Amino acid sequence: MSRSALSANCHGPVPPQSPVILSVPHAGRDYPAALLAAIRVPVTALLALEDRHADLLALAARGAETALIQRPARAWIDLNRAEHERDPKLDDGADLARQPAMSAKLRSGLGLIPRRLANVGEIWGKRLSDADVTARIVADHRPYHGALADLLAAAHARFGVAVLLDIHSMPPIGPPGEAAQIVFGDRFGKSARPRFVARLEAEAEAAGIAHALNSPYSGGHILDRHARPAGGIHAVQIEFDRSLYLDSVLESPGPGFAATAALLRQMIAAVTDEAIASTSALAAE
């Protein structure tokens, strides 16, 4: 993996020195000039697509783990969508034969290239060419997923197991004290063994933070693409309510940032312990 070829930042050792790999695909705050020239809305309207400062949260929690963090904004290209999830209402290269049943996200305008936002409307001033979107796939989407696959393979080769924690943030989904403030996603049991999810849930429980599993977020393309539990590669998406770690207007790190980073650190440590224990048990058999 060439770090210089990535539009993402790779933090930590390569090859990894931990079985846990962190991914932050939606916190990018770089808005390419080509995007700024093509949108019909103020760039500030696109901030709603960001997992605002989830990268800072992951970096504050990171120890020896290797983390992959995307720099370009999600509005440019969404790494948590498959290459074929191209919107026919926006993208001249969309191939309906590859997606006979479009996902709810794609139908709502949140495909590989986000097309529209609630309360904002259409993002782009005109349709995007096949060449434009393909260039983004080649420059950003494929290198990120290639680097992530390499990191997981290297961690698995060293430890016999690898666990991807895909870090995201979400707007508050209900009144404080009533709604979950952390949502774990394991694709309804398909992307990770239950023991890893249980360790994550236990840390949220110990911190007194309401949490949920797979509702309303079960994970996306990153988990589908990289998780192979039967082969020893597990993946869990973690969504943090932004009010846990941002200020009152959900724009900058707030008074809860340190505590939330500490909680994520505890989650990483718990999953690391579970990963190492699982391989030790196998070796003893």
Q: What is the mean pLDDT of residues 82-111?
A: 91
Q: What is the mean pLDDT of residues 187-208?
A: 98
Q: Based on the structure, what is the number of domains in the chain? A: 1
Q: Is the dihedral of CA 60, 61, 65, 67 positive or negative?
A: negative
Q: What is the CATH number of the domain that holds 9?
A: 3.40.630.40
Amino acid identity of 135?
A: A
Residue 85 has pLDDT above 60, yes or no: yes
Amino acid identity of 50?
A: E
Q: What is the mean pLDDT of residues 57-73?
A: 98
Whether the Cβ atoms of residue 183 and residue 226 lie closer than 8 Å to each other:
no
How far from the centroid of its chain's Cα atoms is residue 88's Cα?
Answer: 24
Whether the Cβ atoms of residue 238 and residue 167 lie closer than 8 Å to each other:
yes
Share of the chain above pLDDT 70, in %: 96
Which residues constitute the domain of residue 193?
A: 3-284
What's the confidence (pLDDT) of residue 3? Answer: 46
